[in-house]
Amino acid sequence: MSDASLSPQTPEVYTGYYGEFTITDADRQEVFLYRLGLAIAAGTFSLGTAFALTFGDQGWAPGLISGLFVGFCGGLGLSLAKIHIYLIPLHRLLQGFWLVGCGAAIAFGLIFPEPLFVTVLDQPQTLWGIGFLFAALTGIFFKEGFCFRRLETMLLTPLVPLLLLGHLTQLLPLEVAQIGFSLWSVLFVIFAARKFTQKPADDIGDKSVFDHLKQT
């Protein structure tokens, strides 16, 4: 796509596959919110992982980690609301995964007396519900890796399901899990930070394709 010379008040004009389209301030705001959601999700997940690995045996830690998980869910939900995906059914599927995962987290929080972090740690089968949240996150990683070939997302796409499957089956040694989740945290933060270095147009995509798909 080719950029036109613009001021902040003038829509950017691009040439897409099905014709010209413009990128407006509203589009830029959506991209910012998408990236902000990723930053919130990455920050809360990484903090939660750090607390779990460093202070997991402290009495105050599980409650704090569970609270950070709420922030992770909120950030992920914001990103899924604002992400641009050409295939609307795929977009809705990822949002559906998020809803199922959030619903499961709320249900487990009400059913079990201990903090959610302890519940998931002690009862791996809860991932059959909460795991849908991470399926949605993996969908974002896959989309970003496919579109931009970022190394961190291409590593995260297989890493996340492998770590969760390892916990679900209890086949993953503790030391390997600690290294794996640490790597996940670092790569997630790198990914979220690098998103802010991209032009808004990268995350908006070809709006002429979106318009064409709406008409078909």
Q: Which residue has the higher pLDDT, 57 or 76?
A: 76
| Residue 21 pLDDT | 67
Tens of pLDDT, residue by residue over 3-49, are: 443 445 566 776 666 666 677 888 899 999 999 999 999 999 999 99
Instruction: Give the residue-averaged pLDDT of 184-189.
Output: 98
| Residue 15 pLDDT | 67
Look up the pTM and report it.
Answer: 0.89
Q: What is the DSSP string of the chain?
A: -------TTSPEEEEETTEEEEE-HHHHHHHHHHHHHHHHHHHHHHHHHHHHHHHTTSTTHHHHHHHHHHHHHHHHHHHHHH---S-HHHHHHHHHHHHHHHHHHHHHHHH-SS-HHHHHHH-GGGHHHHHHHHHHHHHHHHHHHHHH--HHHHHHHHHHHHHHHHHHHT-S-HHHHHHHHHHHHHHHHHHHHHHTTS-HHHHH--HHHHHHHHH-
Residues listed for the chain: 216
Query: Is the pLDDT confidence value at 213 over 80?
Result: no
Q: Would you list the domain boundaries of the chain?
A: 12-215
Q: Provide the sign of the torsion angle of the four alpha carbons 160, 118, 47, 193, taken in this order.
A: positive
Cβ count within 10 A of residue 203: 21
